[in-house]
């Protein structure tokens, strides 16, 4: 089957950074689905895994952790899906990625695709939706049924893939007051379109901007951009007994002591945790994606495609990685068809 892979970890302007290759079509076992991939989207995790380093793979490594397609075959233990079902999922970072014509994914982290979406629009959703959902409702413990209505959240980096979903979930399900951050007029407009009541600039003094909005402190903070740089501002902005969640790994020590007097919580979200460790609640991601499909079909949530970059091949995938590395992407980048 066709795939896009790498053997060396190179700068994205090197044509060998991602190459068109041929690899064997895999066979499903256990809870595996073999999915005929129709569309993929690209996330910052792809660029981080591919980042230059002194390592050479003996067999090509295939990246890609967002896909939509059709079930082509199932493993013997599969009970949730059948051949022909349209599905969407993010997969597991410990297995080969979805930048290939066919892909194996565990049914317990896979969802039935929203009936109202095509493959392109569905492929934009899984990784960012799982991340945003788990961050808000599992890590920050926000009530998804409106039980925390009226409380406030600061979403640092609102216009990216995770922020685009987090704003919608926080507004339409949790009914929070949302302050999103964006640094350009077009990204600020995107945040407002998705439901943010307020937008501030994360390159400027965030606590001062919050005070100007009449929100000197917020109940929750979701950090989707540069944990190291923004941690002091987030610690100042969070309310006593409030909670901060980040999805962005830190490069150096964090001053967690800044949270002590407030008895505030800091917690990480990593959407691959359940699949990586095969946690007892691994099937929660299947249930999550199923519920999100229902919300999309009901018109409560919308897809977050920012740009469709053409068919799935190495040249277009390198272009998508380069755009993500530039740090100015709004919404999700999607490729469709081989």
Helix, strand or coil, per DSSP, at residue 199: strand
Burial of 7: CB neighbours in 10 Å, binned 0-12, 13-18, 19+:
middle
Report the predicted TM-score, pTM, of the whole model to 2 decimal places: 0.95
> What does the pLDDT look like over 216-249, one tens digit per residue?
999 999 999 999 999 999 999 999 999 999 999 9
Using CA atoms, how far residue 139 sits from 221, 245, 270, in Å, is 11, 7, 10
Share of the chain above pLDDT 90, in %: 98
Phi, psi (rounded to 5 degrees) for 156: -85, 110
* Mean pLDDT of the region 191-195: 97
Helix, strand or coil, per DSSP, at residue 90: coil
Give the range among 32-41, 170-179, 210-219, 320-329 with minimum mean pLDDT.
320-329
Residue 284: pLDDT over 90: yes
Tokens of 40: 């993929």
User: For residue 167, what pLDDT is reported?
Assistant: 98
Helix, strand or coil, per DSSP, at residue 183: coil
* Mean pLDDT of the region 166-176: 98
User: For residue 236, what pLDDT is reported?
Assistant: 98
Residue 149: pLDDT over 90: yes
> What does the pLDDT look like over 22-42, one tens digit per residue?
999 999 999 999 999 999 999
What domains, with CATH codes, occur in the chain?
Answer: 2-126+274-336 (3.90.180.10), 129-272 (3.40.50.720)
Residue 328: pLDDT over 90: no
> What does the pLDDT look like over 244-276, one tens digit per residue?
999 999 989 999 999 999 999 999 999 999 999
* Mean pLDDT of the region 286-304: 97
User: For residue 327, what pLDDT is reported?
Assistant: 84
Give me the residue label for tokens 């350009």.
Answer: 184
Q: Report whether 221 contacts 237 (CB < 8 A).
A: yes
Q: Provide the terminal-to-terminal Cα distance of the chain, rounded to the nearest Å.
A: 10
Query: Which residues 6+ apart lie within 8 Å of 281 measured at CB?
Result: 274
User: For residue 26, what pLDDT is reported?
Assistant: 97
Across the chain, mean pLDDT equals: 97
Q: What pairing do the DSSP bridges indicate for beta strands 32-42 and 332-336?
A: antiparallel
């Amino acid at each position: 089957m066709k795939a896009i892979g790498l053997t060396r970890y190179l700068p994205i302007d090197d044509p060998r950074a991602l190459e068109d290759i041929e690899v064997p079509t895999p066979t499903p076992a256990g809870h595996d689905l073999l999915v005929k991939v129709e569309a993929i989207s690209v996330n910052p995790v792809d660029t981080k895994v591919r980042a230059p380093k002194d390592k050479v793979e003996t067999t090509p490594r295939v990246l890609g952790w967002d896909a939509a397609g059709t079930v082509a075959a199932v493993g013997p233990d599969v009970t949730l899906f059948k051949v022909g079902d349209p599905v969407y999922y993010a997969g597991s970072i410990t297995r080969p990625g979805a930048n290939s014509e066919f892909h194996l994914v565990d049914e317990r982290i896979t969802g039935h695709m929203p009936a109202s979406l095509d493959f392109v629009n569905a492929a934009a959703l899984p990784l960012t939706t799982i991340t945003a959902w788990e961050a808000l409702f599992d890590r920050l413990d926000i009530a998804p049924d409106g039980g925390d209505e009226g409380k406030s959240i600061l979403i640092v980096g609102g216009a990216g893939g995770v922020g685009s979903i987090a704003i919608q979930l926080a507004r339409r399900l949790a009914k929070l007051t949302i302050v999103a951050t964006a640094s350009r007029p077009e990204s600020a407009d995107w945040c407002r379109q998705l439901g943010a009541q307020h937008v501030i600039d994360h390159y400027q003094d965030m606590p001062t901007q919050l005070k100007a909005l009449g929100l000197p402190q917020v109940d929750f903070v979701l950090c989707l951009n540069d944990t190291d740089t923004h941690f002091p501002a987030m610690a100042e902005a969070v309310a006593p007994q409030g909670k901060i969640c980040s999805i962005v790994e830190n490069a150096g020590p964090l001053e967690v002591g800044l949270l002590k007097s407030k008895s505030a919580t800091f917690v990480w979200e990593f959407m691959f945790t359940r699949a990586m460790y095969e946690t007892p609640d691994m099937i929660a991601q299947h249930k999550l994606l199923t519920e999100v499909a229902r919300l999309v079909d009901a018109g409560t949530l919308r897809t977050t495609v920012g740009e469709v970059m053409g068919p799935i091949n190495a040249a277009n995938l390198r272009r998508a990685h380069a755009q993500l590395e530039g740090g100015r992407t709004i919404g999700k980048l999607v490729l469709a068809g081989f």
